[in-house]
Structure 1
Amino acid sequence: MLRICLLFGLLCLGTAAAAGPDGVLRVIDGDTFDVGGTRVRLHAIDAPETDQLCGGQGAPAWECGAWVRREVRARFDGQFATCETRDIDRYDRIVAICHIAGRDIGEMLVSDGLAFAYRQYGWDYDLQEKAAAVAGRGLHATGVTSPAAFRRIGRKAAVQEAPTGCTIKGNISRDGKRIYHMPGQNWYDKTRIDPTKGERWFCSEADARQAGWRKARR
């Protein structure tokens, strides 16, 4: 094996870099899992937020985010998964494609209408979402606001609440990490501040660091 890696070093290095966690899968929400104890966000899919409501187009409002989480837990929780790392996100989670029994979890979720293709980060599941929409499967059976649109609505409200001169966003990740985002950083515009969860605005980096937040890496 060592000789093969010496002869094809770049190939071996690339394979190692793509390796991700494997182990028993525990569902956090529709697109986020713990795999072998490591937090993983599925690549190129977007599931409803846990507190998201769906409806519209004549359909009554219903708790689609909670429903998706229950469905995903019923299907996958406790099974053995293997993952291939694609990136690290702003919450320091591994972004990965994961498989159970050789099947792509993201593909299954999008095909069954439990999640949407997240084309901003990859077109891997574009055709699967279109097929699910045509067939009216899962979320596509009723009027639904996409998770991205749902988050945009929340972000607009958060921007309106920003105190004058205090534009630094102190965000708390799902696993409790306190991270602040400066205007101009990659994830600043996409970060919503929810004071009910302990998140807050800061007027200076010194204030943020003193309160226990660290600066986002990008």
Structure 2
Amino acid sequence: MKQRVMMVALFAVITSPVCAAKLSGPARILDGNTIEIEQSKLRLSGIEAPETDQICLDAHGRKWACGIAARDELIKHSNGRTWDCHITGGDEYGRSRGSCFIEGEDVNAWMVRSGWALSSGPYVIYEVVASKTCAGLWSGAFIAPWDWRRRNKGTIIIGASSVPIDARELLLGSALLSDPPSPECVIKGTLGSNGDRIYHLRGQLSYEQIDMTKPGERWLCS
């Protein structure tokens, strides 16, 4: 019995948050919820930022590259400072997952509170605050990041109370992604017959012929 108690106590120490893996250093911001520290990629857990090719509507109903904006706002907030990340697991893409802090501030919470990401976990209260103050994405109309990746005619549009009446047409229309969302995101990504992602760069023979309004096609920044 005594040996059993000691084994349970040892397991508790090994699996305690204090002993969880940590990653620290300056971060390279890849998108609104993915960073890289010392060549290790980490996905901020509990939040969903817009994709880099995602388009939203502003308070006046105009289209803007909200995915790029979310990434750039995180870059500005980071400002070259040291990140301290607590790794809690991994994902299907080989990235670590966890919560990160800059000088003691919870970055995951900051992204949601500032309106640049939605909560997919414990940050719902910050999402409520962002929506009430029309911060970031909430200043206009947008599609939840998890819906953007597989959007269709039935996709729900969310955002400010003054969402324009033509928001659905603007965000779900076939012409939405005919042009790149940003001058820096001009790589065309298509799916091959075997499911592989194929990258097409400007200047290649097939580049101009690719129809980016087809399902599965993505504008990529790198």
- Aligned-pair distance for 1:45? 0.4
Among the aligned pairs, what percent are the same residue? 27
Structure 2 spans left out of the alignment, 5+ residues: 1-5, 156-173, 175-189, 199-214
Aligned to 2:92, the other structure's residue is in SS state coil
Q: Which of residues 114, 118, 127 is equivalent to 1:129?
A: 127
Deviates more, 1:53-62 or 1:131-140: 53-62
Distance 2:7 2:140 in 1: 55
Structure 1 spans left out of the alignment, 5+ residues: 173-191, 198-218
Aligned to 2:151, the other structure's residue is in SS state helix
Residue in 2 that maps onto 1:11? 12
Distance 1:9 1:193 in 2: 48
Residue in 2 that maps onto 1:112? 114
Per-residue Cα deviation, 1:75-114 (whole angstroms, up to 9, x for no partner): 1142111111222111100011111111110001100101
Aligned to 2:112, the other structure's residue is in SS state helix
Shift of the 60–195 alpha-carbon distance from structure 1 to 2, 3 Å rule, reads closer
Aligned to 2:141, the other structure's residue is in SS state coil
State whether residues 26 and 77 of structure 1, in contact with CA within 8 Å, keep that contact through their aligned partners in structure 2. no
Residue in 1 that maps onto 2:158? none
Distance 1:141 1:112 in 2: 11
User: Greater helix share, 1 or 2?
Assistant: 1
Distance 1:28 1:83 in 2: 16
Distance 2:66 2:8 in 1: 52
Q: How many residues align?
A: 163
Shift of the 169–141 alpha-carbon distance from structure 1 to 2, 3 Å rule, reads same
Aligned to 2:62, the other structure's residue is in SS state strand
Q: Which of residues 44, 64, 86 is equivalent to 1:42?
A: 44
Residue in 2 that maps onto 1:54? 56
Residue in 1 that maps onto 2:87? 85
Aligned to 1:169, the other structure's residue is in SS state coil
Aligned to 1:74, the other structure's residue is in SS state helix
TM-score normalised by length of structure 2: 0.63
Per-residue Cα deviation, 1:40-96 (whole angstroms, up to 9, x for no partner): 000010111111110188611111111111111111142111111222111100011
Q: Summarize the alignment of residues 14-33 of structure 1 with structure 2, pairs less than 5 Å apart.
A: 14-15=15-16, 18-33=20-35
State whether residues 191 and 217 of structure 2, in contact with CA within 8 Å, keep that contact through their aligned partners in structure 1. no
Residue in 2 that maps onto 1:73? 75
Q: Which of residues 88, 93, 96 is equivalent to 1:94?
A: 96
Q: Summarize the alignment of residues 100-179 of structure 1 with structure 2, pairs less than 5 Å apart.
A: 100-118=102-120, 122=121, 124-153=122-151, 169-171=195-197
Aligned to 2:30, the other structure's residue is in SS state strand
Distance 2:31 2:40 in 1: 14
Aligned to 1:97, the other structure's residue is in SS state strand
Structure 1 runs of 4+ aligned residues shifted over 6 Å read none
State whether residues 170 and 193 of structure 1, in contact with CA within 8 Å, keep that contact through their aligned partners in structure 2. no
Distance 1:57 1:113 in 2: 14
State whether residues 27 and 77 of structure 1, in contact with CA within 8 Å, keep that contact through their aligned partners in structure 2. no
Counterpart code for 1:18: A
TM-score normalised by length of structure 1: 0.64
